[in-house]
Structure 1
Amino acid sequence: MQAIQYEFDNGVGVLTLNRPARKNAIDQVMATELQILLADLAQQRDLRALVITGAGGAFCAGGDISNMMSAAGNSETGRDRMRFNYLSWIETILRLEVPVIAAVRGPAFGAGFSLALTADMVLAEPGSRFCMSFVRLGLVPDCAAFYTLPRIVGIQRAKELCFSGRELGPEEAHHLGIVTEITAIDGALDRAKQIAQCFASASPSSLGLMKRALNVSLNTSLDAMIDIEAAAQGIARTSDWHAQAVARFLSKEPPMFQWPAKSQD
């Protein structure tokens, strides 16, 4: 692949946006490669967690503006281009039944900010910057930001961030719930891998069921969520992982899953 890299080790996948000279801006080549890779990852039974990061000193500067101009067309072709070249793989990330962790350093602007929002956890280094920069180009947020951002920060704050296009540092992003944890300088990727490796030892059915249920919870009635919960727990309680975990608990052995509550120095 030309614009991305992918590594897999012991259940953990690391997806790196790899256009450092362009601050990992998303062009057509990158979009196509992401679509192909993520469609494949959605079928991988051995994937337990996915880390998304950027090469060099940036996470992702957004869409490649020169690529936007060369691909300009009428409104119909523009809609199709967004729906099938971009939103298809963004939707795949949101639907992955494994934890997705974004390791952010430097700018996460425009579609790069939107990409970070698709993650279940966002780790950010000091000096990282987040910006819904679309308004600066007369565009609207894309890559599912209309879905993800209000769910994280609330509708009023989402409007303010989209209307203003102002930048957020990691501290404010953490305060708003966008960033899960602020890491040490040059530490986001290592911390993301540590957390991902922890998830690799967890029950894949449990995590997948939780993620599916939480993804629909804000749009679903109490009755429907209770039905989803009951069905999910029925599946989880019949898994081999659950049986092994109970056996270890009763024999006073260390649990198979342990959360790394604190960063390792």
Structure 2
Amino acid sequence: MSDSPILTEQRDGYRVITLNRPDKLNAFNDAMHAALREAVDAAEADETCRALLITGAGRGFCAGQDLADRVAKPGEKIVLGVTLEQYYNPLVRKLRALPFPVIAAVNGVAAGAGCNVALACDIVLAARAATFVQSFARIGLVPDSGGTWLLPRLIGEARARALALTAEPISAEKAENWGLIYKCVDDAALLPEAEKLCAQFAKAPTAGLALIKQAFAASPTNTLDAQLDLERDLQRQAGFNPDYAEGVRAFMEKRKPNFIGRKKSE
């Protein structure tokens, strides 16, 4: 396997990004951050890319930050906010805003920022052997990479506070039961299931899916009236897209639609 910290594969209509530091459980260092940013930007720039799959090499998905890169010498202060501002926060914002679905295939431990980067994806599938842990409290830190925003919205404040304060790991099965992730599957079925989902999105009306992402992104801070107005505006925009007309024609003609996705209409 390549020694590059990020592996990228081009598939028919989607891309696969693999976090590739298996000896470190794919923990983030500066080189991996930079390579991941480049890979995500390349996927966004490629109009034939209509979904993105993120997974990990080896037995882990991502163990969060590589602490070997953040060891303070006696009397030295490490300014952790710089790492968040430079790497993690832009990554989470980018994943939430990409104009196509992002699927996380969590193949093993997802800890700390690695857990929250996975949760920032649109759909999270996890192998039965996977675990999720907000490990920050173990070293006196605060959940970051969106953790304090994502967790209460996914599983409620009581469970979110408990996971953050105790740093207790939970299984993929419990994560599914609690609503933290979409689905727990057998280990051998993880990648086939994720690839099947990506293949489905690769033929979907991508512009409409991007508008769905926009609607859900706005929902937590909108009033009902504001959200109703937003739905009206987004639906108007969706109706102008050629994929809507193609979807209706295909339905009436009892055939599969041929959506243009991210390509510009003539």
Of 143, 146, 149, 1:147 maps to 149
Distance 1:24 1:38 in 2: 17
Which digits, 9 at most, give the CA deviation of each residue in 1:170-199, with x for residues without a partner? 111001111211212222112111001101
1:180-259 to 2 correspondences below 5 Å: 180-255=182-257
Cα distance change of structure 1 residues 238 and 113 upon mapping to structure 2, 3 Å threshold: same
Distance in 1 separating the partners of 2:11 and 2:136: 36
Aligned-pair CA distance for 1:36: 2.5
The answer (yes or no) to whether the contact 1:97–1:212 under 8 Å persists in 2 is no
2:7 is paired with a residue whose SS is: strand
- The answer for the alignment partner of 1:60 in structure 2 is 62
Aligned pairs, number: 256
Normalised TM-score (structure 2): 0.90
Task: After superposing the two structures, state which structure 1 stretch, 19-28 or 175-184, moved more.
Answer: 175-184
Matched position secondary structure for 2:188 = coil
Residue 35 of structure 1: how far off its partner (Å)? 2.2
Q: Is the contact made by 1:106 and 1:129 (CA closer than 8 Å) also made in structure 2?
A: yes
3-state SS of paired residue (1:47)? coil
> 8 Å contact 2:119–2:181 — kept in the other structure?
no
2:117 to 115, 118, 130: 115
Q: Structure 2, unaligned stretches of length 5 or more?
A: 260-266
Could you tell me which amino acid in structure 1 is paired with residue 34 of structure 2? T
Aligned to 1:161: 163
8 Å contact from structure 2 (residues 43, 52) kept in 1 = no
Compute the displacement of 1:103 (Å). 0.6
CA deviations over 1:70-111 (Å, ceiling 9, x no partner) = 699646x43222211221122111211211111112211111
Distance in 2 between residues matched to 1:48 and 1:108, nearest whole Å: 25
Q: Which residue of 2 aligns with 1:263?
A: none
Find the partner of 1:100 among 85, 92, 102.
102
What residue identity is the alignment partner of 2:139? Answer: L
Residue 255 of structure 1: how far off its partner (Å): 4.8
Backbone CA RMSD of aligned residues: 1.9
Q: Equivalent pairs: percent with the same residue? A: 34
Distance 2:198 2:183 in 1: 14
CA contact (8 A) 1:42 1:92 kept: no
Q: Which amino acid aligns with 1:238?
A: F
Contact in 1 for aligned 2:109/2:130 (Cα 8 Å): yes
Secondary structure of 2:145's aligned partner: coil
1:11 maps to a residue whose letter is: G
Question: TM-score when scaled to structure 1?
Answer: 0.90
Partner of 1:124: 126
User: Can you give the 5+ residue segments of structure 1 that lack an aligned partner in the other structure?
Assistant: 258-265
In the TM superposition, what is the alpha-carbon distance from 1:115 to its structure 2 partner?
1.3
